[in-house]
Amino acid sequence: MPDIDWRAAVRAAFGGRTPDDDVVEELAQHAATAYEAARAEGVEPDDALADVARQIDRWAADPVVASRRPRRPPAVAPPPASAPPFASTMQDAKYALRLMRHQPAHTVVVAATMALGIAATTLLGSVAYGVLMKPLPWADAPRLVRLYETRQGSTKRFRPMMTNGTYRAWREGARTLDALAAWDVRQVALTDRPGTGRITVSDVTPSLFPMLAAGPALGHGFAPGDEEPGRPPIAILSYGLWQQQFGGRNDAIGARIRLDTTTYTVVGVMPASFAFPDRETRAWLPFYIEPPTTPGRGGMSISMFQALGRVRPGATPAQAAAEGTALGRAATPSVPMAKVVATAVFGSDGPVDVTVVPLLEALTSDVRPALLILLAAVLLLLTVATANVASLQLARATARRRELALRSALGAGRGRLVRQTLVESLVLGLVAGAAGLVLAALMHRLLPLLLPTNFPRLDDIAFDWRVLGFALLVSIAAGLGCGLLPALHIARTDIAPALGEDALAPVGGGLRARTARARAAILAAQMAMACVLLIGAVLLVRSFVDLMGAELGYDPSNVLTARVILTDGEYSPPQRLAVLDNILQRLSATPGVTHVAYSNSLPFVGGEALSSFPLKRRDGSTIQVQAGVQGVSSDYFAAIGQRVVEGRGFVPDDASRDVPVAIVNREFSRKYLGGQALGWTLPGASKHGDSGPERPIVGVVDDTVRRSVTDTPQPEIYGTTRRSGGEGAGQVADSDINLVVRTSRNPRELVPVLRNVVQSAAPAAPLESVMTMDDRVAGSLANPRLYAVVLATFAGFALVIAAVGLFGVLSYTVTLRRREIGVRSALGATGRDIVLLVARQSLAIVAAGIVAGLLASAWATRLLGTLLYGVTSHDALSFLAVAGMLFAAAVIATIVPARRAARVEPAKVLRG
Amino acid sequence: MATTSLERELKRGSAEILILALLEERQRHGYEIGRLIADRSRGAINFHVASLYPTLYRLEDRRLIEGRWVEKAGQRRRRYYRLTREGRAVLARQRGIWDSFFIALDRVARIRHA
């Protein structure tokens, strides 16, 4: 090795402009070291020399070096100082925010996806908490239980209630309950305050308020005995009614208020927060539970109402149920009438069965399964959204390898980089969480519009600190969730190779890299989750469509219905008939009206009357029947669109005949008369033990659903009002009459006419519940529709998010693989080959996702069980359709990146 | 190209900050600094060893670093550079800008590859 005088070489390079000796010395040292290093690496002497010479030339060319003036600090030994702690987490957070500001598009997409997921989760969480979990506002709420009575073999025509016999027996002999209370809700007119319409009141036993530990804000509550017959009528007002009718004045106490035909003295006002059984109730009246039989008086009376109990500490609902059952059975009156009454009400005179259900569970049992399913669905959606962010972050983490490697070169330890990535994701999660919270708050205000009015505990769904805390937790979980994979990725990344490789163009990127595999797994999981949500949604939507198309037994389209109230005080039964005839005449003369009728009850309206009587059959045997009894005017079947399948419907003449006629439905005919009802005769309707004239059956009509479209048909008997002869002739006994108007045009257009006609025929009579029959049917389907819409929305979002995620990752991969694609093109691959290359990767992911999703769905859809109608939880068509939908979405998400890949110009890429 | 001057500025800025950061840990001599930059970034930042000394001298003139000769037994005499108090302050301040620089670098990279 020649001995090179580096100082001379440096001086020579500077020519005339001799730099400072210090500089010459330093550069010479550098040159010597560089040369030795090159030689040590095996570089040929000449090449090494040439390299270093070029180096020296460049130094010499720089004026800064040439004009360097000396400064000579004293020579000291180098202290190996350790680096100070690099930065705090706060700095990481600031950095993250700055990063987000600098990449607005990426940030917006990522944050919006997460915000949506967090908003939906927060909203549903607040609903689920408020409805299912929030403690009821009553004292000892966990000990409050609903008491239901039924009979073995019941046909369950009514929602379970409690009867007076069992209630009274239990009240006297309760050992498992320390309190019992009963209530019944009804509508009354504020008779002395015209124009106020009707209000909802609750008859409550005096024991109710003490059980709930609720006292009036003004005046006093009911005392035991206040409900006994013969006591002066008293009432407690709701805060709202007090404000409305008495302007919040104290002199309301002792004031009189007339409800229907009775005048009540106001004794108390409940606080504004008090609502029982719900906000609809405006006043409470003492409720007397009469005994089923009275000594010295024949017959029996049965009343049905809602009942509440409070189990003693230590007693269980099951023990209470056993006690109630035993007491109820012992109390069943032995009079013959008891069997008839039980059959009329329960469809069976079997032994009493009492069930006891915790109040919260009873209130929410209708919606609990659906809410839990939707909650699970929204968590799935959030997971999809988070996974999407995770895969985007992961992709970016790869793109940022060089940055991270540089930071690492600057002394940032791996742990710090991991921490920084997690902090970044956390900041993202919190930003998304804040946005999600705002979104959730907005959606929360729309809840009353979205949720059916009969949804339980609507008032308890609050947007409070619990919701805030929940949203915060969800945001943190989502943030950490989406940061975890990128962080792990960084933790495993070897920094030096990352700096060495051209991270923007790895050859053979495909699925070989570990991160690429992780991304593919995330995508497949997203697809699988979207698949589960979609299948659930498709099943619910199909159920809802089937429910809408279910056979009702009548034609609800173009039918306007309304209830007119002809109260006992103002209208005698014959007067009612006259008023109704007048209304019917005037309405039928209205253009656009094809049929008009009235009835004492309607499907989806209630007011069902039940009767039970012994029926002699064709074979000579006798059967005790239970049937609904509906009194209708002659054109009723035509007006409601109920088909007469045998015999005839009612005709106006039926009203003036001496002999009443009856029409039964198919179920009555099938169940009791072997399908041959026509021409047979029903025994006369009995009243106070006297039989009326027998009623020949002149027609059989279709079965109808009455409370829910999923009801099974029940036996029904239809009768018509009569003007002459026999008992009850010329009378309409009920005060609430339902009008049914069939129209040839949009029934809503006839609402003003209807109001006018009723107004002029019965000026004081309230007209309520003016609705088309279609709306009534739709209203009964509000919950299934809500569930279907919500799940479909979630599923839609999940699908879009998964597709966007797939699109994003494919686009990104194409960018990464530009060089590989360029090489392939240069080697003769056609555009089609390149498209296939990308599509293959995409479809492998999607296929794996769909298969996993279908398998998961096969398990998960069983949970939908009770919510499905007309479709099984393993409906093959739905599964196939969803697989197709996902496939289509995947194809769409693949097309653009694939085509872009095909347009990669090899020359351009390879030169770059 | 419009990005050229921007890139140049960025590169110069990055070289200075890179050197300050390298000296934060302990004092180093010129060759070592050059090696570290070249090895660790392998051209990720197009920082040529040619501009190392001008940069070092500029930093020294601005009193952000100071160099001094150190002799150790059995080794060449070397000029070691270490961070001054002002250098530390500038480094701390620049870290903020540094973060932005990476963001900007990402963008430049994207513009170039678009």
| Among candidate residues A477, A483, A387, A475, the one with its CA nearest the CA of residue A119 | A475
Residues of B in contact with A30 (CB under 8 A): 30-31, 34, 53
pLDDT at A88: 55
Cα gap A194→A69, rounded to integer Å:
106
Q: Sorting pLDDT into bands at 50, 70 and 90, what band is A8?
A: confident
Could B40 and A409 be called an inter-chain contact, meaning their C-beta atoms sit closer than 8 Å? yes
- Convert A291-334 into a string of H (helix), E (strand) and C (coil): CCCCCCCCCCCCCEEEEEEEECCCCCHHHHHHHHHHHHHHHCCC
Among A649, A665, A651, CA closest to A701: A665
What percent of chain A lies above the pLDDT cut of 70?
86
pLDDT computed for residue A708 by the predictor? 82
Residue A322, C-beta contacts closer than 8 angstroms, at least 6 positions apart: none
pLDDT digits (tens, 9 = 90+) for A789-835: 888 988 888 888 888 878 877 777 777 777 777 777 777 778 888 88
pLDDT at A687 over 90: no
DSSP label at residue A129: I
Interface confidence (ipTM) of the complex: 0.73
pLDDT of amino acid A254: 92
pLDDT above 90 as % of chain A: 25
| Contact between residue A453 and residue A526 where contact means Cβ atoms under 8 Å apart | no
pLDDT at A725: 43
Tell whether the model's pLDDT for residue A727 goes beyond 80: no
The pLDDT score that the predictor gives to residue A157 is 72
Evaluate if residue A635 carries a pLDDT over 60. yes
What would the mean pLDDT of A486-505 be, rounded to a whole number?
A: 54
Under 8 Å CB pairs connecting chains A and B tally to: 125
* Residue A216, both tokens: 């009036």
Instruction: Report the Cα–Cα distance between both ends of chain B, in Å, rounded.
Output: 14
Contact list, A38 vs chain B (CB under 8 Å): none
| Residues of chain A with C-beta less than 8 angstroms from the C-beta of B50 | 55, 58-59, 62
Tell me: the pLDDT tens digits for A704-725? 988 888 888 889 999 887 664 4
Output the pLDDT for position A743: 94
pLDDT in tens, A317-346: 999 999 999 999 988 877 777 777 788 778
Task: Quote the pLDDT of residue A638.
Answer: 93
Query: What residues in A contact B28, CB-CB < 8 Å?
Result: 78
Q: What is the pLDDT of residue B22?
A: 81
Cβ contact A32–B99 (<8 Å):
no
Q: Which residue of A has its CA nearest to B106?
A: A400
Q: What is the predicted pLDDT for the residue at A297?
A: 65
Read off the pLDDT band of A234 (50, 70, 90).
very high
Bridge partners of residue A627, in order along the sequence: A611
- DSSP code per residue over A471-528: HHHHHHHHHHHHHHHHHHHHHH--HHHHHHS-TT--TT-TTTSHHHHHHHHHHHHHHH
Q: Is the pLDDT of residue A307 over 90?
A: yes
Lowest-confidence region among A71-85, A482-496, A673-687, A785-799 = A71-85
For the cut 80, the answer to whether the pLDDT of residue A220 exceeds it is yes
| Beta carbons of A438 and A111 less than 8 angstroms apart | no
**Is the Cβ pair B30, A30 closer than 8 Å?**
yes
Give residue A726's pLDDT.
Answer: 42
Specify burial of residue A569 (Cβ count, 10 A radius: 0-12, 13-18, 19+).
middle
Minimal Cα–Cα distance from B84 to chain A, Å? 13
Residue A657 DSSP code = -
Read off the pLDDT band of A103 (50, 70, 90): low
Q: Do A68 and B45 touch (CB under 8 A)?
A: no
Give the integer Cα–Cα distance in Å for A50 and A48: 5
The residue with greater pLDDT, A701 or A912, is A701
Q: Give the tokens for residue A478.
A: 């989502």
Q: Is the pLDDT of residue A763 over 60?
A: yes
Q: Which of A82-86, A98-102, A487-491 has the lowest mean pLDDT?
A: A82-86
Q: Does position B55 have pLDDT exceeding 80, yes or no?
A: yes
Q: Which of B26, B35, B36 sits opposite A78 (nearest CB)?
A: B26
pLDDT in tens, A584-620: 999 999 999 999 999 988 888 876 777 888 888 888 8
Question: A545: Cβ–Cβ under 8 A, 6 or more apart, which residues?
Answer: none
Q: Is the pLDDT of residue A11 over 90?
A: no
Among candidates B41, B54, B60 on the partner chain, residue whose Cβ is nearest the Cβ of A406: B41
Specify the pLDDT at position A693. Answer: 76
Q: Which of A26, A95, A402 sits opposite B30 (nearest CB)?
A: A26
Nearest to A287, CA basis, from A229, A327, A357: A229
Chain B residues within an 8 Å CB radius of A405: 40, 44
- More confident of the two residues A18 and A747: A747
- Residue A307 corresponds to which tokens in the numbers above? 């009942």
Lowest mean pLDDT segment, chosen from A57-61, A643-647, A842-846, B28-32: A57-61
pLDDT at residue A907, rounded to an integer: 65
- Answer for the pair A104, A431: CB distance below 8 angstroms, yes or no: no
- Cis peptide preceding A85, ω within 30 of 0: no
> Residue for token digits 């550079």?
B81
Residues 6+ apart with CB under 8 A from B63: B84, B86, B87
Segment A634-644 shows an average pLDDT of 93
Mutate to test the interface with B, among A6, A21, A26 (most CBs of B within 10 A): A26
Query: Which amino acid, one-letter code, is at B89?
Result: A
Closest CA to A596 of A565, A560, A629: A560
**pLDDT for res A538:** 92
- For A869, the token pair is 């109608």
d(CA A661, CA A638): 17
| pLDDT exceeds 80 at position A852 | yes
* H or E element in which residue A341 lies: helix A336-346
Q: Across the interface, do B26 and A26 touch by the CB < 8 Å criterion?
A: no
> pTM for the full model?
0.70
Q: Do B50 and A103 touch (CB under 8 A)?
A: no
Mean pLDDT along residues A36-65:
80
**Tokens 């900007």 identify what position?**
B104
Question: What integer pLDDT is reported at residue A508 of this predicted model?
Answer: 39
Residue from the list B54, B66, B107 with its beta carbon closest to the beta carbon of A62: B54
Euclidean distance between CA atoms A401 and A494, whole angstroms:
10
Nearest-by-CA chain A residue for B36: A409
| A477 has pLDDT over 60 | yes
Q: What is the pLDDT of residue A1?
A: 46
Instruction: Give the pLDDT band (50/70/90) at residue A148.
Output: very high
Looking at CA atoms only, how far is residue A26 from chain B in angstroms? 6
Q: What is the secondary structure of A712-773 as a DSSP string?
A: PP--EEEEE--SSSSTTTT----SEEEEEEEESS-GGGGHHHHHHHHHHHSTT--EEEEEEH
Given a contact cutoff of 8 angstroms between Cβ atoms, the answer to whether B64 and B87 are in contact is yes
Q: What is the pLDDT, as a whole number, of residue A399?
A: 62
Q: Cβ distance A128 to A375 under 8 Å?
A: yes
Give the mean model confidence (pLDDT) for residues A569-573: 77
pLDDT tens digits, B75-92: 777 888 988 888 888 877
Instruction: Let me know: does A699 contact A644? Beta carbons within 8 Å.
Output: yes
Residue B47 binned pLDDT confidence (cut-offs 50, 70, 90): low
Distances in whole angstroms, Cα of residue A223 to Cα of each of A171, A186, A230 = 16, 22, 15
Contact A590, A745 (CB under 8 A): no
User: Which residue in chain A has the smallest CA separation from B55?
Assistant: A64
Q: Tell me the three state secondary structure of residue B102.
A: helix
Of A76, A87, A91, the CB nearest to B70: A76
Average pLDDT of the residues of chain A: 82
Distance between CA atoms of residues A141 and A214, nearest Å: 12
pLDDT score of A49 more than 90: no
Cα dist from B70 to A588, A593, B49, B66, whole Å:
115, 111, 22, 13
SS3 A89: helix
Q: Which of the pair, B103 or A896, is modelled with greater confidence?
A: A896
pLDDT of residue A427: 83
b/e sequence A355-379, b meaning 16+ C-beta within 10 Å:
bbbbbbebbbeebbbbbebbbbbbb
B54:A76 CB<8 A: no
Is A79 within 8 Å of B100 when comparing Cβ atoms?
A: no
Residues A907 and A351: their CA atoms lie apart, in Å, by 91
Neighbours of A734 (CB within 10 A): 18
Which pLDDT score, from 0 to 100, does residue B110 have?
36
Work out the pLDDT band at B114, boundaries 50, 70, 90: very low
